[in-house]
Amino acid sequence: MTRYRYNTATTLDGFLADDTDSLDWLLKQDFDENGPGNFGAFMAGVGAQVMGATTYEWILDHEKGAWTYTAPTFVFTHRDLQPVAENITMVSGEPADHRQAIEAAAGEKDVWMVGGGDLAAAFQAAGMLDEVIVSIAPVTLGSGRPLLSAPLDLRLEECDRNGEFLVARYAVVGPLGSR
């Protein structure tokens, strides 16, 4: 069965980005690309990815328009955004409306929930979020884009240190109060 895995960097106080969507606080940190929680090992299991419009635009801005992801990508947006690559599909509506297409695209592999926190919460509400995997940077921002906009019970499955990051993998148990 397809696993939906939300894998993201976050600050210690639970923000994905500051109010101006800057990730300067993240990109300056030490991280061993072959160490615990490394991205290569995760990406090897990814067959499709889903993200919100803000995340999509951030990637394009920061990669200067280049799109390096090879997995089929679904961008949830209410706006009229243009796909910059053939493997990108713009979608709107509820996660469940697109479940069949997403899982068909993923094949035997997992779905990477790239973010942001509102979309991750919408996927969880639809029963389409199995894991939350975080790389916690040694930073607080005080305000910004929220990690996950819903009250949830998680279960800590793994944790370790990688460079300046705490890395942790959680199973999603359900809405807060599920256990």
Can you give the binding site for its own copies, defined by CB under 8 A? Answer: 10-15, 18, 25, 28, 117, 121, 132, 134, 138-143, 146-156, 159, 161, 164-166, 168, 170, 176, 179
Give start and end residues of each alpha helix (H) in 14-98. Answer: 24-27, 39-43, 53-62
Burial 96-122 (b: 16+ CB within 10 A, else e): eebbeebbebbeeebbbbbbbbbbbbb
Token pair for residue 18? 């500051």
Nearer to its own copies, 31 or 74 (CB): 31
Nearer to its own copies, 10 or 49 (CB): 10
Check: CB of residue 92 under 8 Å from CB of residue 74: no
Nearer to its own copies, 84 or 171 (CB): 171
- For Cα atoms 77, 79, 80, give the angle at the middle one, nearest 5 degrees: 115
Partners of 132 in the β-ladder:
6, 170
Check: CB of residue 138 under 8 Å from CB of residue 9: no
Nearer to its own copies, 50 or 147 (CB): 147
Nearer to its own copies, 27 or 104 (CB): 27
- Report the nearest approach of its own copies to the CB of residue 108 (Å): 29
Nearer to its own copies, 18 or 130 (CB): 18
- Report the nearest approach of its own copies to the CB of residue 133 (Å): 11
- Report the nearest approach of its own copies to the CB of residue 146 (Å): 7
- Report the nearest approach of its own copies to the CB of residue 128 (Å): 16
- Report the nearest approach of its own copies to the CB of residue 68 (Å): 28
- Report the nearest approach of its own copies to the CB of residue 39 (Å): 19
Q: Which of 42, 51, 48 is nearest to 104 (CA)?
A: 48
